[in-house]
């Protein structure tokens, strides 16, 4: 997600609170809004998670948080390239409808990218597109990456999402762990529903990453 300068999330203000039941699916920032996923479960231990990247983690004060992990039977270099080649996300995450790097060169701390994902019409909200501006806060090669920033659409808004990924080689493959937090008046109006939407998005992202990495490597972890 994003950080300082032009991509800094504006200060939190009181805004009309949209019905989260109608809007939650459109808020799944993991780029998997249209995917079918198991019911997400909030993780109480997320508040005390020790996961960090360069000494930083997700927002410890956020009311909306979710974390999960999966074992991917593919080389770490394959998984890392998929995740950090953000311009290639639309090729393996269909709900990512556009992606634009806002700087040049390899992805690194301070890199910024802007991407979009559709939000379908509901009985109470119009069809819209969420625009997400992300800035890399921390990054360690083939180990972890942390980004943050806002998601804005017509009638829908998340003031700030903070998203952490960690990668660890284990027997049989790579353990990929992800955590994300959301803040903002609209999503905080219904924390359980927003948490479920966030969880569905993260679980779908993990499934897509796993399927793509394993297909490219033939299911060989090394």
Under the banding of pLDDT at 50, 70 and 90, the label for residue 121 is low
The whole-number pLDDT of residue 126 equals: 58
Could you tell me the pLDDT band of residue 50, with boundaries at 50, 70 and 90? low
Q: What mean pLDDT do residues 142-150 have?
A: 97
Is 217 in a helix, a strand, or coil?
helix
Between CA 110 and CA 115, with CA 114 as vertex, the angle to 5 degrees is 140
Interval 178-220: pLDDT, tens: 999 999 988 888 888 888 888 888 998 999 999 999 999 988 8
Q: Percentage of the chain with pLDDT > 90?
A: 56
Count Cβ atoms within 10 A of the Cβ of residue 6 and give its class: 0-12 exposed, 13-18 middle, 19 or more buried. exposed
Q: Residue 104: is it exposed, middle or buried by C-beta count within 10 angstroms (0-12/13-18/19+)?
A: exposed
- What is the distance between the alpha carbons of residues 137 and 15, in angstroms, rounded to a whole number? 28
Whether the per-residue pLDDT at 98 is higher than 70: the answer is: yes
- 68 vs 28 pLDDT, higher one: 68
Residue 39 is given by DSSP the state P
Residue located via tokens 């999330």: 9
Does pLDDT of 174 surpass 80?
A: yes
135/124 Cα distance (integer angstroms):
31
The answer for residues whose C-beta is within 8 angstroms of residue 63's C-beta and 6 or more apart is: 183, 188, 191
pTM over 0.85? The answer is no
User: Residue 217's pLDDT is what?
Assistant: 92
């Amino acid at each position: 997600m994003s950080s300082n300068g032009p991509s800094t999330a504006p200060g939190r203000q009181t805004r009309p609170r949209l019905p989260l039941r109608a809007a939650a699916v459109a808020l799944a920032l993991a780029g998997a809004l249209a995917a079918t996923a198991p019911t997400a479960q909030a993780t109480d231990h997320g508040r005390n998670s020790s996961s960090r990247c360069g000494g930083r983690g997700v927002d410890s004060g956020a009311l909306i948080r979710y974390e999960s992990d999966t074992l991917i039977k593919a080389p770490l270099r394959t998984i890392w390239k998929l995740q950090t080649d953000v311009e290639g996300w639309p090729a393996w995450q269909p709900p990512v409808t556009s992606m634009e790097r806002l700087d040049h060169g390899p992805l690194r701390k301070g890199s910024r990218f802007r991407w979009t994902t559709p939000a379908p019409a509901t009985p109470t909200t119009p069809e819209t597109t969420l625009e997400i501006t992300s800035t890399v806060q921390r990054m360690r090669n083939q180990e972890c990456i942390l980004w943050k920033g806002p998601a804005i659409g017509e009638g829908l808004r998340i003031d700030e999402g903070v998203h952490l990924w960690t990668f660890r080689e284990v027997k049989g493959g790579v353990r990929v762990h992800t955590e994300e937090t959301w803040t903002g008046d609209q999503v905080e109006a219904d924390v359980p529903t927003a948490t479920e939407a966030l969880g569905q998005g993260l679980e779908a992202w993990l499934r897509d990453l796993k399927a793509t990495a394993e297909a490219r490597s033939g299911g060989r972890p090394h």
